[in-house]
Chains A and B, each alone.
Chain A
Amino acid sequence: MSTVRSAETATPPDVLARPAEPHAEQAAGPGVAVAVPPRRGPARAALRLLRSELTLTFRRPRNIAMLIVLAIVPVLIGIVLRVVGGDGEAPSLITQVAGNGLMLTFVALSLLVQLLLPLAVAVVAGDAIAGEASGGTLRYLLTAPAGRTRLLAVKFVNVAIFGLVACMVVALAALVTGFVLFPVGPVTLLSGTTIPLADGLLRVLIVTGYSAAGMAALGAFGLAVSTLTEVPIGAVAATVVAVVFSQVLGVIPQLAPVQPYLLTSWWASFDGALRDPVATDVMTQGLLVFAAYTVVCGSIAWGRFSGRDITS
């Protein structure tokens, strides 16, 4: 840009001849009907873009289909548990469903958070930038101008909200199914104590929020992958493969030292919410891992996207 600067200073007569305020003339210029755009708050403009993003995400048939599948699975789990009944060999959480329908929520989330929820989040996150690039819409968003950092931030918030909604859909479907198929009452926790139903619902909220935080971290990872390619399906596949690979690493006993660093190890670590009082130590650690993944992946995404040549 230095050449531009120097050349500009090389034409002093023009500079002197012009009015001091360069926009005064052009605004008053004959026939140029260009109003000075009103200064609107950047936060409001970002919210507007986010709203547009959310509308696209939640109206897209593919995403709606994924949410429907996520709602059906807890119902199926509930029916299976109801039909098979609690046999003593199943894990403790699952046997408890027979005793209290509320427990179905925890069962459903701890099962789905391992693969089906990550899959849905990976689709939305992997598609975020790569999908716009492959469709050519990225160039029009950027010349609008959406701003690269702003667009990336909005995309991340959108993915995080989608993850939250997906977790809520699972929790709600499980809650309704549990209430319909099983007796509901005061909840007996893993620690053996019994809490009132309202308190139990609060625990459901905590677990849902924790799961959503884990999905947001995955969303940041998917978004970073999405900035590396113009092929959305490639970004989605890469994200899912990373999840599966990480889970494989997570079950190999010899790799125990590595496991605390894996994102997948922490997704279902919300047992603490089922104890009395709530055991926050493990969950706090989990949230810190999620935050670390979000920051690192977010930085990679920004570093890659902010200066890149858009050739699509």
Chain B
Amino acid sequence: MTTGEGAHEAAPPRVASRPASPDDCSIVSRGLTKRFRGGQVAVDDLHLAVPRGSVFGFLGPNGSGKTTTIRMLLGLMNPTSGGCEVLGRPMPAGLSAALPKVGALVEGPAFYPYLSGEANLRRYDAADPAADPRTVTSRVGSALDRVGLGAAAGKRYRAYSLGMRQRLAIAATLLGPRELLVLDEPTNGLDPQGTREVRSLIKEIAADGTTVFVSSHLLTEVEQMCTHVGVMRTGRLVAQGPIAELRDGHALRVRVESPQPAQAASVLNQLGLADVRTGVDEVTAELGAVAPERVVAELVGDGVSVRGFAVLRPSLEELFVGLTGEGFDVDG
């Protein structure tokens, strides 16, 4: 796990648990860079490695270059320098071989308002030269059913609610057998119930062995469904790897609730815990290599009355703030 600002300068961030072999990855990018005509660098020297079969959360505040990256991965934009491979094919040269096996939702749903949901899916299916027209009815039907739009299939898209439109866009990614789904903000516009459904749908799809690359600016969403994350900040990938490892890289803290905070603090200091902070009726410290049960035993042994004890796992939000140095949704 490589984290922090210097990551892009030294070595590309690596997936520590697995060797970053391009063959194990559904998406690989090397030095992917996009500089717009105005000189603005939207994506800067990106080294992505999305392992096959993972649910990869592509995190970052709005405007951090997530969508531009996705557009380059899908061959909609040409990189200024560097390159990327999707399902082992270089993009955009290998586009026609790779994309039939990729379902994509880019920057929100877009359909023909005067067509029904079903006719819209047929339209996109007709654009895929690898799709078999003989099975289109059943494939469209099952995609609609899968996102819960079966009953609204004949309704014009114009009459769809925002949530239905988002579902239809997800249905469009499920028209064929896919090896990779690229979902850009898939839960935008969905109510909490819809969000939960999409999350379980993604888990279901991933369980079939499909790699899911999902971008989001909502940390909790990613935390609940992803196995891996990549964190973007102003066009740079500041961290990527398995979510558990990303957590492990960060210090666990203990919190001791006690009416004798000073005494508790001295015990923690004796145990060699770092960053001991004393508050009102509580003390927190970095756990380091010390076993939590030993901390409790020492406290009790020294006669400190312990009212509460907890090991604090850093939330993804805290990790993210640590990585990007700022909160979410505020980046320009």
Contacts and interface: CB of A to CB of B under 8 A. Distances in A.
Interface of A: 1-5, 7-8, 11, 14-15, 18, 22, 26, 29-35, 37-38, 40, 42, 45-46, 48-49, 51-52, 56, 59-61, 135-137, 139-147, 150-151, 307, 309-311
A42 B129 CA distance: 7
8 contacts: A4-B85, A5-B90, A38-B130, A142-B74, A142-B75, A144-B128, A145-B75, A145-B99
B66 to A, nearest CB: 15
Contacts of A48: 126, 133
Contact of A147 (B107, B110, B122, B129): B129
A78 B83 CA distance: 64
Give the bracket for the number of chain B residues in contact with chain A: 35 or more
Given A1-B90, A140-B172, A310-B76, A8 B124 contact: no
Contacts of B212: none
Given A34-B177, A60-B114, A143 B102 contact: yes
Interface in B171-212: 172, 176-179, 207-210
A34 B100 CA distance: 11
Given A59-B114, A135-B111, 15 more contacts: A4-B85, A8-B22, A31-B209, A40-B129, A56-B123, A61-B114, A135-B110, A135-B112, A135-B113, A139-B71, A143-B104, A144-B99, A144-B100, A309-B71, A309-B76
A309 B84 contact: no
A11 B132 CA distance: 37
A147 B83 contact: no
A310 B110 contact: no
B127 A139 contact: no
A2 B85 CA distance: 12
Contact of A136 (B23, B108, B131): B108
Contacts of B71: 139, 309-311
Max chain B CB contacts within 10 Å: which of A26, A59, A150?
Answer: A26
A307 B76 CA distance: 9
Given A4-B85, A14-B23, A52-B127, A310 B77 contact: yes
A143 B23 contact: no
A133 to B, nearest CB: 10
Interface centre among A3, A56, A141 (most CB of B within 10 A): A3
Nearest to B91: A1
Contacts of B125: 144
Nearest to A15: B23
A11 B122 contact: no
A75 B139 CA distance: 47
